Chains A and B, each alone.
Chain A
């Protein structure tokens, strides 16, 4: 299971990219913003694509009563997510090493993948909850209170994935480099599972 162990280790290490690259990216373009405003969502916090983008997004959002974009200390996620990712990387590397030396079964690789998938779905769910809250919990004294055609108050939840037109803004929300690294990393752990399976069969 040497090959499978190495793939497992490489796959888990790819998750470390999340500490350097953003997980998600949301861009806001409008006629007045030929250079769109943008935010990069990292597991440790939210940063503007350009230096003052966050300030400028907050400035625009105050018209419709949205809260300011949370700082690091304002969301527990920014503390917990890095820990979870760190633990999962360590776990993946340990499983990979043990697999490499034939101490554990290749099934552990799939086990890691399933655990990571559950955590990932929980993370996305949490992220979506935040987007809903951010887009709907509006200041009752907002400058502009807009309604949908059916008379319900307009809300401003950015899309979790994809494009949406919101007032004068074109909003694009897509995974960023960090997400692609997780995706590839997790894919590799599945590959490790199958490679391990075939290596085990040959060995037996």
Chain B
């Protein structure tokens, strides 16, 4: 009973604060915003013109990564990452199935959260974008030349991979923290023995600067709190990483109440350079593990999945000076670092204030050993000693803060449904704008780097309600674009998004578009089943398996007549697109296939498995309108009874 009273009390307070804060600012009626100005002109990208920025928005519970143009808000592409995508066969084709392999077997879905673009010297470089799978802990690397997922690494000893995937300022590491603490190693034990027994892992994954290949360098095994979000230090604080925590109460049930009791939780400050050195000198403990590392080869066009069997763990108590706790009020959510690296913002989601820690003061407090106790042996710094300032009552439910290049910060407020602009250093509120509704993350292109491009702010809203024509009980999520180049933020545009975009990352189009691949060169195609020319086409039987070496070009398949397949066979269509022209993919679909289609881009080879179950003559065809003769791009497979003695034969253009 006491608990429910607490909840009611909290909601009452929340409602009151919303009223107080916004009574004067909220404009009446719907359709407010930019229409009074020339907003339409500012988001209009004329037919044939290109947007100024690429925005990569997490696909949330779609598991994918969506690509938008800004300022138009036009969706350009959905890149499949953690979920199967029947539209192009990702996760269905034999080549891509290994990408979704995990220690739990084939996992065809995930919940993707926080994309982060690679950096050099703290500036966006447009090589790769990383994103985390939250549910079955994984980190993916998407190549921004190919716009394709090239690598996925599973994170062992993690559960709810949420404080991920954030990169250090030279892309030395992509970092993945666990939201749910769990027994490490996993074991059968009572849940109510959580406290003191469960642990949280923070994983530092090194990135090869040439190939982008990821490998777990070490896992820091921390106390059993919930590691919610994180960001790297940058510039002066490069070498450190900051994680917000909640549930420092270590509750295991009814967390909405039981994990909201402590007046302050922590931001964990991790000196990864010290740990890196410790590990490079042989420190840490290699422990058994089981996790998948999946890599797509750009030349064979095939993914391989390797199970890795051990991981290097580090006990923070073994590395002096590696970890400190910064007390931060009320279950902080977002953990954001300003472009100079001096200020670490804890967005205390149950607090009315924003807490800003000073990196310089933190170093000073550490140097002078001004500690205020410890937690599981990790020193806790004194709140007052490290405090840079407080943004007083800017709104209710602060979640995330982004920065522009002019020394301003933009914080999203979920409960009061607004974005608040404030001055870094004076902590003065400069402007506030309502959002529709209940914003989660906000995003400024480069807002998580030393060099933000503070022209636009995108609010990624959790609730849509009446913003678009209704589409039944399930609505899309809604993004809102603000112009932040002036003193006041101006709402320019609403646009719908896929899944539930959590974080997003955007980059000037110039840094990517000229590198974007047009075709894969056939000459570089090393797929073992590729049919580079008509002379390479054939059909080969290997027991019950039939391998079709097929190719395609406008507008035919070779071969397009196949006989000798039998019921009970497993037919592998290995299809090579011989086109070497931009934007001429061909599709492949065959009747009754239990998987999906293939969409094969020029120069690639992909494989679809088909298991015919009925005798007959069955068609296949090209699904992607490729030429004036696209409708003619079709063929037949004759399927005979299992005991038939018809030999395999194949042809193209024979009578």
For residue B581, which residues in chain A have a CB less than 8 angstroms away from its CB?
52, 55-56, 59
> Which of B580, B582, B628 is A63 in contact with, Cβ under 8 Å?
B628
Taking the nearest CB of chain B, how far is it from the CB of A57, in angstroms? 10
**Interfacial chain A residues near B579, Cβ < 8 Å:** 59
Question: Are A52 and B554 within 8 A (Cβ)?
Answer: no
What 0/1 readout, one digit per residue, does chain A (145-170) give for beta carbons within 8 Å of chain B?
A: 00000000000000000000000000
Q: Evaluate whether A52 and B628 lie within 8 angstroms (CB atoms) in the complex, with A59-B553, A59-B554 already known.
A: no
A interface residues (Cβ-Cβ under 8 A, vs B): 35, 51-52, 55-56, 59, 63, 143-144
Q: Which of B609-655 contact A (CB under 8 A)?
A: 627-629
Report the Cα distance A55→B554, complex, angstroms: 12
Name which of B553, B580, B581, B628 has the most chain A CB atoms within 10 A of its CB.
B581
A68 to B74, CA, bound (A): 41
11 contacts between A and B (CB under 8 A): A35-B582, A51-B580, A52-B580, A52-B581, A55-B581, A56-B581, A59-B553, A59-B579, A63-B627, A143-B629, A144-B628
B511 at interface (Cβ–Cβ under 8 A)?
no
- The complex places the Cα of A59 from the Cα of B577 at a distance, in Å, of 13
- B519 within 8 Å of A by Cβ? yes
Closest Cβ neighbor of B523 among chain A residues:
A51
Q: Are B629 and A55 in contact (CB under 8 A)?
A: no
- Considering only CB atoms, which chain A residue lies closest to B629 in the complex? A143
The 4 closest A-B pairs by CB, nearest first: A52-B580, A56-B581, A55-B580, A59-B554
CA distance A90 to B215 in the complex (A): 64
Q: How many Cβ-Cβ contacts under 8 Å join chain A to chain B? A: 18
Q: Mark B47-71, 1 if CB is under 8 A from A, else 0.
A: 0000000000000000000000000
Interface on B for A, CB 8 Å cutoff?
519, 553-554, 579-582, 627-629
Query: Which residues on A sit within 8 Å (CB–CB) of B627?
Result: 63
Q: Which residues of A contact B553 (CB under 8 A)?
A: 59
The reply to whether B628 and A56 form a contact with Cβ atoms under 8 Å apart is no
B112 CB to closest chain A CB, in angstroms? 34
In the complex, which residues of chain B have a beta carbon less than 8 angstroms from the beta carbon of A51? 580
- Given A59-B579, A143-B629, 14 more A-B residue pairs with CB atoms under 8 Å apart are A35-B582, A52-B519, A52-B580, A55-B580, A55-B581, A56-B580, A56-B581, A59-B553, A59-B554, A59-B581, A63-B627, A63-B628, A63-B629, A144-B628
Chain B residue numbers with a CB within 8 Å of A59 are 553-554, 579, 581
In chain A, what residue has the closest Cβ to B581?
A: A56
The prevalent SS among residues of A at the interface is mixed
**Residues on the A chain within 8 Å of B628, using CB:** 63, 144
Q: How far is the CA of A143 from the CA of B629 in the complex (A)?
A: 9
Report the minimal beta-carbon distance from A198 to chain B, rounded to whole angstroms. Answer: 55
Q: Determine how close the nearest CB of chain A comes to the CB of B578; give it in whole angstroms.
A: 9
Q: Across the interface, which residues of A come within 8 angstroms of B554, CB to CB?
A: 59
A178 shortest CB reach to chain B, Å: 27
Please name the residue on chain B nearest to A59 by beta carbon. Answer: B554
Give the residue name and chain of the A residue nearest to B627 (CB).
A63
A175 to B555, CA, bound (A): 34
Q: How far is the CA of A143 from the CA of B628 in the complex (A)?
A: 10
In the bound complex, what is the Cα–Cα distance between A117 and B175 (angstroms)?
72
Among A35, A52, A55, A56, max chain B CB count under 10 A is at A52
| Residue in chain A with minimal CB distance to B632 | A143
Enumerate chain B residues within 8 angstroms of A63, measured Cβ to Cβ. 627-629
| Cα–Cα distance between A63 and B629 once the two chains are bound (Å) | 9
When distances are taken between beta carbons in the complex, the residues of chain A under 8 Å from B629 are: 63, 143
Bound Cα distance A55, B581 (Å): 9
Once the chains are docked, how many angstroms separate the CA of A144 from the CA of B628?
10
Contacts of B582 in A (CB 8 A): 35
CA distance A142 to B581 in the complex (A): 22
Nearest-CB residue, chain B, relative to A35: B582
B576 to chain A, nearest CB (A): 15
A35–B581 CA distance with the chains assembled, in angstroms: 11
Q: Which residues of the other chain, B, contact A52 by a CB distance below 8 angstroms? A: 519, 580-581
Q: Provide the bound-state CA to CA distance between A115 and B576, in Å.
A: 53
- Shortest C-beta distance, A19 to chain B (Å), equals 26
Which one of A59, A63, A144 has the greatest number of beta carbons of chain B within 10 Å? A59
Q: How far is B629's CA from A144's CA once the two chains are assembled, in angstroms?
A: 10
Complex: A174 Cα to B547 Cα, angstroms: 49
Bound Cα distance from A56 to B579, whole angstroms: 8
Smallest beta-carbon distance A110→chain B, Å: 49
Taken together as a complex, chains A and B put the C-alpha atoms of A51 and B524 apart, in Å, by 14
Kindly state the separation between the CA atoms of A56 and B522 in the bound complex, as whole angstroms.
Answer: 14
A144 to B627, CA, bound (A): 13
Task: Provide the residues of chain B in CB contact with A56, threshold 8 Å.
Answer: 580-581
Measured between alpha carbons, how far is A55 from B522 in the docked complex, in Å? 12
Please measure, in the bound complex, the distance between the C-alpha atom of A59 and the C-alpha atom of B555, giving whole angstroms: 10
Bound form: Cα–Cα A59–B552 in Å: 12
Min CB distance, A154 to chain B, in Å? 16
How many whole Å from B551's CB to the nearest CB in chain A? Answer: 13
CA distance A59 to B554 in the complex (A): 8
Min CB distance B384 to A, Å, is: 63
Which residue of B has the minimal Cβ distance to A37? B581
